Structure 1
Amino acid sequence: MNETTLKIIGSEEWCAFNALKIPAVKARVDSGAKTSSIQANNIKLIQKGNEEWISFEVNPIQENRSIVVKCEAKIFDKRMVKSSSGISEERFVIKTPVTIGEDTFEIELTLANRDAMEFRMLLGREALMNRYVINPSKALMEQNFSVTDIQEKYKHLIKEKSGLKIAVLASNPNLFSNKRIMEAGIARGHEMVFLNVEQAYMKFDAKEPQIRYRGGNIVGIFDAIVPRIKPSVTFYACALIRQFDAMGAYCLNSAEAITQSRDKLLATQLFAKHDLRIPITGFANSPLDTKDLIKMVNGAPLIIKLLESTQGKGVVLAETTKAAESVINAFKSVKTNILVQEFIKEANGQDIRCFVVNGKVVASMQRQAAKGEFRANIHQGGKASKIKITSEERKLAIKAAKILDLPVAGVDIIRSNKGPLLLEVNSSPGLEGIEGATGLDIANIMIEAIEKKLKFKRN
């Protein structure tokens, strides 16, 4: 074909895939890429007769993850493709007709995770050859769509708002607790969105504060945020939570409450200040005082825990004074902050987890340590069972959550000869163990708490 007969297109153009029921997706035109690609999620293999097909979901509109097109296509090929970041990965390839302006022709299309990219589609040189030349200084030369045009094209996929818009702010969408909260919110008619803490960033501005997400997508307004924060991202996640708060979203646990609960030393001081019974606890800086520190908490055996410990990690039982001195001095030598705490032998490796929501204990379970372990922890092979707590234990759990100003909290209590003692309070308590032990739908209770706070009435 003579070059003078080739059409001129710009650096970006609207494409349509009628066979995939995608009426419009904006593509970046890239002659440096051999094969065209489109953003695809939830890719699954399906069998149709003797043929291998694939189902997948496309979010065709930039900065809008609420519009989802469900697609199916026959697998044409599998290829190793190197991304713009230099990482090679195997991708499925399909063949499908594409429409650009008035022209329709078949192209090969790889299915790729383009969530972090500005454009949902890339138009490669195989699709361009013998058809187009590119004018990089122009854009949308074949046709252009307004916002109204796009809304009209996708109106059948735009759901009317019948519930709240709630985000789960966490790191792992596949974690049991996060999936349960998402499911519970959807079941109650809310729009649920998972936001990865580490893929969001902020713009501080008095008039227009923003949170952006993967590839520059501006995060819209949320009615509520459910923080599910792992310890390693506490500082950054709390900055995000404060930003959401500034933008008018209700945060189920505030940044200040999470920060207090994660600072075990501060939390312990607050519990003691408000007359909550805790195991005798010590904290010191000088190795010269190690012997007296051990004596102060009634000697060995004793518990030594890192201030940043979670789920039983960073918690050590020192059975003798010599072992305790060695562990304490080792920690101090690397300038790690630790607490030492009396060991409650009569607890026999058991503790109680009370799940508190809005000032009420909605569920409780007893955890039994695995054989050879001293700490009750289902994450380390322990067992959980339903338990009826005493009124004293209930009051202790509620007061502990209130002192830290946590609407949602996992409060850990241990039974001793002196009565119930408070061990610690978790601001992102897991749901798997307590839902399994009690049979209660804790995720649903959490969503109900948000509805009550925002005075939302279901139809």
Structure 2
Amino acid sequence: MDTNKIIIGSEEWCGLPQLNIPGIKARIDSGAKTSALHAVNINQFKKNDQPWISFDVHPLQKDGKTTIHCEAPLLDKRKVKSSSGSSEVRFVIKTVLAIAGEAWDMEVTLTNRDSMGYRMLLGRQAMSGKILVDPEESFHLGDLSKERIASYYFTNITRPTGLKIGLLASNPDLYSNIRIMEAGQEHGHEMEFLNLKDCYIKLDGKNPEMHYRGGRVLNQFDAIIPRIRPSATFYGCALTRHFEAMGVYTLNTASAITQSRDKLYSLQLLINNGLPIPTTGFANSPLDTNELIQMVGGAPLIVKLLEGTQGKGVVLAETKKAAESLINAFKSLRANILVQEFVKEADGKDIRCFVVNGKVVASIMRTAAPGEFRANIHMGGTASITKIKAEERRIALLATKTLNLKVAGVDIIRGKNGPLLLEVNSSPGLEGVEGASNKDIAGKMIEAVEKDLKFQK
């Protein structure tokens, strides 16, 4: 073994001195040939008749305010396959990598890594002959303190010049919430995470107010983006409704969220607008169980709790006897359920269309894990980018419009007689769709706020 090689862990801090980036956390990936750097606002230009690239880098995770503007000669353009399986053409530059007191040239591709945990990926080409990786170690060369990082970048922080936007949600560490906060900051807006459990309302005909933990009055917001978990629908919608009463713009309104969360009511609205759904039954009395089963074409069939979400409370009954037992068990607990036709030809796959402001901005195919019938990434399923058909796009847009949602995840399956609408989610997760599509969906949501408020940059 070459003892002169630098030993590093699975993640390390390194520097890119030619790009004025003194510290950036890199994921070490010997499985990837080429290194990759997070870059946005990429533009090609000429300098002394040679092709150059200008781009912005946000070098710190979970931080869209710290921005480094970079320029470098363009080395190449290459088609690169990402970890999600999709391919994209990327610009390639050559720059200097600084690590453990040494420095050498490396090639790096430029791509938007907002959907990834690390702003940089260090591939084996840059490490060849110089580095050994100990995958059990993390920050083998030492971590950087917050003070050190602040000393590197305090002059590069973008000050808010735009809107003041509140993200009304429950978990600040959730991927979707982190990305929306970052995207808002990248667009120059002042973002604040508002934990809905810390908000409380003052009802006053002349002066309604929203208060926050410690007695602070929330009266300076231009917009609110509600991301309400299902178990907090009632309180979260009450808060959203109160912001609306105060004249604050909300990306999805309380009434739209409320009706989308009521599975039965939302299906009634959707079929009244001519949208195709799997045959569905709803009944209260156990005496109607056999009729209910026959109504949806018999077993196998799906039983859904009206209050369920993200695949929870959804069960496949494979036989008539199992269906009877399951339906009667739920009814004995006074649980409201839907009984739905099982579309076998869907083969454990569904399509998630992500709609923002009347446009399908991304679509992915979700495939169920082995042994599962639901295409759910929270339960081991996988996601890949897919091209939707014209009818599927029409269904996604009409469903979102029917429920008056500005942002929605629309789930569709492909049946033998055409596409069928399963559900419309008013707080769709971003991780699966951004990871599979490599698109900045959070940025599209911020742009929707800007458009509706007629914000001029």
Q: TM-score range by the shorter chain?
A: 0.5 to 0.7
State the alpha-carbon separation in 2 of the partners of residues 442 and 53 from structure 1: 31
Q: Which amino acid is the alignment partner of residue 219 of structure 2? A: G
Gaps of 5+ in 2: 1-62, 64-138
State the alpha-carbon separation in 2 of the partners of residues 160 and 292 from structure 1: 63
Secondary structure, aligned partner of 1:409: strand
Structure-2 residue corresponding to 1:419: 418
Structure-2 residue corresponding to 1:176: 175
State the alpha-carbon separation in 1 of the partners of residues 317 and 387 from structure 2: 31
Structure-2 residue corresponding to 1:446: 445
Secondary structure, aligned partner of 2:271: helix
**Cα RMSD (Å) of the superposition?**
2.6
Structure-2 residue corresponding to 1:430: 429
Structure-2 residue corresponding to 1:305: 304
Percent identity among equivalent residues?
Answer: 66
Aligned residues: 316
Q: Which amino acid is the alignment partner of residue 178 of structure 1? A: N
CA-to-partner distance for each residue in 1:338-387, whole Å, 9 max, x for gaps?
Answer: 00000000000000000011111110000000000001001100000000
Q: 1:223 offset after TM fit, Å?
A: 0.7
Q: 1:217 offset after TM fit, Å?
A: 1.5
- The answer to whether the 8 Å contact 2:368/2:377 transfers is yes
Gaps of 5+ in 1: 1-41, 57-69, 72-155
CA-to-partner distance for each residue in 1:221-241, whole Å, 9 max, x for gaps?
Answer: 211111100011100111100
Structure-2 residue corresponding to 1:162: 161
Structure-1 residue corresponding to 2:258: 259
CA-to-partner distance for each residue in 1:68-127, whole Å, 9 max, x for gaps?
Answer: xx89xxxxxxxxxxxxxxxxxxxxxxxxxxxxxxxxxxxxxxxxxxxxxxxxxxxxxxxx
Structure-1 residue corresponding to 2:274: 275
Structure-1 residue corresponding to 2:188: 189
Q: 1:247 offset after TM fit, Å?
A: 1.3
State the alpha-carbon separation in 2 of the partners of residues 279 and 160 from structure 1: 50
Of 219-228 and 369-378, deviating more is 219-228
State the alpha-carbon separation in 2 of the partners of residues 450 and 176 from structure 1: 20
Q: 1:220 offset after TM fit, Å?
A: 2.6
Of 226-235 and 205-214, deviating more is 205-214
Q: 1:309 offset after TM fit, Å?
A: 1.0
State the alpha-carbon separation in 2 of the partners of residues 277 and 232 from structure 1: 28
CA-to-partner distance for each residue in 1:268-326, whole Å, 9 max, x for gaps?
Answer: 11111111000000000000110010000000000000001111000000000000000
Structure-2 residue corresponding to 1:108: none
Q: 1:54 offset after TM fit, Å?
A: 7.2
Who wins on radius of gyration, i.e. which is larger? 1
1:286 aligns with 2:309: no
Q: Which amino acid is the alignment partner of residue 275 of structure 1? A: G
Structure-1 residue corresponding to 2:409: 410
State the alpha-carbon separation in 1 of the partners of residues 394 and 185 from structure 2: 33
Secondary structure, aligned partner of 1:303: strand
Structure-1 residue corresponding to 2:214: 215
Structure-1 residue corresponding to 2:341: 342
Q: Which amino acid is the alignment partner of residue 456 of structure 1? A: F
- The answer to whether the 8 Å contact 2:158/2:188 transfers is no
Structure-2 residue corresponding to 1:26: none
- The answer to whether the 8 Å contact 1:302/1:319 transfers is yes
Question: For 1:66-105, what aligned pairs fall within 5 Å after superposition?
Answer: none
- The answer to whether the 8 Å contact 1:221/1:249 transfers is no
Secondary structure, aligned partner of 2:420: strand
Q: Which amino acid is the alignment partner of residue 384 of structure 2? A: S
Of 209-218 and 352-361, deviating more is 209-218
TM (norm. structure 1) is 0.66
Q: Which has the higher contact order (CA 8 A, sep 6+)?
A: 2
Q: Which amino acid is the alignment partner of residue 224 of structure 1? A: A
State the alpha-carbon separation in 2 of the partners of residues 161 and 364 from structure 1: 32
Q: 1:160 offset after TM fit, Å?
A: 7.2
- The answer to whether the 8 Å contact 1:221/1:247 transfers is no
Structure-2 residue corresponding to 1:232: 231
- The answer to whether the 8 Å contact 1:393/1:420 transfers is yes
Of 346-355 and 244-253, deviating more is 244-253
Question: For 1:3-18, what aligned pairs fall within 5 Å after superposition?
Answer: none
Secondary structure, aligned partner of 1:414: strand
